[in-house]
Structure 1
């Protein structure tokens, strides 16, 4: 029987995945929410920037 070495961190992660089987799916949803943004439509963005009203240097007039 051959035993492969597993670090303490690997053991911890494996135990955590066993205790919380939905953990990886939750991480994927979090990544999708925060990092994986839809592609930007450059024509729409240009239209939005040209239609934006310029802010005055002193906003409290």
Structure 2
């Protein structure tokens, strides 16, 4: 059974095959926005600063 693949996905796959040098540029962009190094101290501060979420957000009585 064939899986659905959008035209955009097909286009991007073919384009990346024709332009392999863009892989490095893609990785640089990902590193810029997503792959940020984090220390254990920073992760601990984030955990301590988080506020618990109410079970039902729109219930004003709790």
Shorter-chain TM-score tier: 0.3 to 0.5
Give the TM-score normalised by structure 2.
0.47
